[in-house]
Structure formats: structure tokens, C-alpha cells
Structure 1
Amino acid sequence: MVWLIVVLVLIVLIVLWVLRKRWRRNKAIQILLHHSQRLSDQVMDAALTSLKIPVQEPLTSKPITDIWGHGVMAFSYIFPKSFSTIDQHQLADALQKAAEELDIASSDPALPPFVITDYFELEGQQHVDLAFIANEATIEYVRDVNRVA
């Protein structure tokens, strides 16, 4: 009977240890997501300013992690229709220049620090999805998006 109690206590301790590790990992990912979102907003603001596009203050994005999975540093922006005068390639170049000016680098040398993963107009609004190449999950996300496109 004592060995059964010892086994149960060990199982409870192992479960608690696993839950604690998972909680700490999720907390770290949330901190990285928040930091990446602030950097992405800052770079997008600088890029739009360089393209002489008026920006509503403050520029805010929404993480798209709920759709694509945990740990993906990708953010969605919605702009008024007047924004659609800017070509996707112009915006990508402006983002690259803004990232260089702010000294932001990609975690993968083969990719720029910021990648536009989606660029479309819907219901009179321009939608832009931007990935910040900060971790392996985001790199895989960008590769998957490029395979589909």
C-alpha cells in the first residue's frame, strides 16, 4: 500500500513539473510575441512614413497566431482603401530599409527580417500580413505560405 502512495505522489510531482515547464514556455512565447509585435509595428510605421502614407496613430496590429499556431510571429494590419496605391514590392522594400535603419536582423540569413505573407483588398480595406523572422516556427510558416502561393 505504501508503494502505491509513493507512485501516486511521484506521478503528481511529474505532472506538476510538466505543467510548470509548459506554463513557463507559453509565458516566454507570449513575451516574444509582444516584443515582436511592437517591433513590427515600429518598422511598419517607419516604412509607411518613408512612403509618405499617413498612418493612424498609434499603428497597431493583431497577431495571427490563433490561426497558424503557437509561436508564429506574424501580424495582420488593416488600412483604409487609399493605402492600396502602394504596391506590395514597394512596401517590402520600405520595410527592408526601415529594418536596416533600426538595426533589426532576421534569425535566418536567407530571409529578410520582415516578410509580407499576404496583401489583399477586402470590403474597401487593404489587408497586410507581416511575418517577423524571429524563430523557427515563423520561418516554417513563411515557407508554408510560399508553397501555397
Structure 2
Amino acid sequence: MVWFLVVLLLVVVAILLAFRKRWRRNKAIQILLHHSQRLTDQTMAAALQTLDFPVAKPLVSKPMADIWGHGIMAFSYQLPLQTKTLKQQPLEKALQNAAEELDIASSDPALPPFVITDFFVLDGQLHVDVAFITNQATIEYVRDVNRVA
């Protein structure tokens, strides 16, 4: 009977330790996500400003982590259509220039720090998805998106 209680206690402690480790990992991912979102919003606002594309202040994105899974630093923007049209290539170039000015680097030297993964117009709004290359999960996400496209 004593052995049964000891084994049961060890199992409960192991389960509690596993939950604690998972909670701490999720907390760290959330901190990284919020930091990455602030940097991406700041860089996107600077890029749009250089392209003379007015947006509401402050520019706030929606994380795509809920859709694609934890650890992916990709953010979605919905911008109102203006009389001045915005094209993907100039926006990518402006993002890279803004990243250089803000001294933001990619975690993968083969990729720029910010990659536009989606760019389309729907219901009178421009939708732009931007990935901030900060970890392996985001790099794999960008590679998967590029394979599909």
C-alpha cells in the first residue's frame, strides 16, 4: 500500500512539473510574440510613412499565431484602400529599408528580417501579412508559404 502511494505521489509530481514547464514555455512565447509584434508594427508604420500611405495611428496588427500555431511571428494588417495604391514590391523594399534604419536583423542570413507572406484586397481593405524572421518556426512557415505560392 505504501508503494502505491509513493508511485502515485511521484506521478502527480511529474505531471505538475510537466504542466509548469509547458506554462513557462507558453509564457516565454507570448513575451516574444508581443515584442515581435511591437517591432513589426513600428517597422510597418515607418515603411508606410516613407511610401506616403497614410494610416491610423498607432498601427496595430493581429498575430497569426492562433491560426498557424505557437512560435510563428507573423502578423496581419488590414489597411483602408486609399486613392494612392500600394503595391507589394515597393512595400517590401520600404520594409527592408525601415528595418535597416531601425537596426533590425533577421535570425536567418538568407532571409530579410521582414517577409510579406500575403498581399490582397478584400471588401475594400488591403490585407497584408508580414512575417518577422526571429525563430525557426517562422522560417519554416515562410518556406511553406513560398512553396504553396
TM-score range, shorter chain: over 0.9
SS in 2 for 1:82: coil
Give the Cα separation in 2 of the matches to 1:140 and 1:16: 31
Give the Cα separation in 2 of the matches to 1:127 and 1:52: 18
Distance 1:68 1:55, change over 3 A: same
Tell me, yes or no, if the aligned pair for 1:79 and 1:126 is still in contact at 8 Å. yes
Residue pairs, 1:59-98, within 5 angstroms: 59-82=59-82, 85-98=85-98
Shift of 1:52: 1.1
Residue identity matched to 1:112: P
Q: How many residues align?
A: 149
Residue pairs, 1:21-60, within 5 angstroms: 21-60=21-60
SS in 1 for 2:82: helix
Q: Percent of counterpart pairs with the same letter?
A: 71
Shift of 1:81: 1.4
Residue identity matched to 2:73: M
Runs of 4+ in 1 over 2 A off after TM superposition: none
Residue identity matched to 1:64: M
Q: Unpaired runs of 5+ in structure 1?
A: none
Aligned to 2:13: 13
Give the Cα separation in 2 of the matches to 1:113 and 1:107: 7
Give the Cα separation in 2 of the matches to 1:44 and 1:7: 55
TM-score, scaled to structure 2:
0.98
Give the Cα separation in 2 of the matches to 1:129 and 1:50: 19
Residue pairs, 1:112-127, within 5 angstroms: 112-127=112-127
Shift of 1:84: 6.9
Cα deviation 1:57-95 (Å, max 9, x = unaligned) = 110000011111111000000001117712100000000
Shift of 1:48: 0.6
How big is the alpha-carbon RMSD for the aligned residues of Structure 1 and Structure 2? 1.0
Q: Unpaired runs of 5+ in structure 2?
A: none
Cα deviation 1:33-72 (Å, max 9, x = unaligned) = 0000000000000001111111201100000111111110
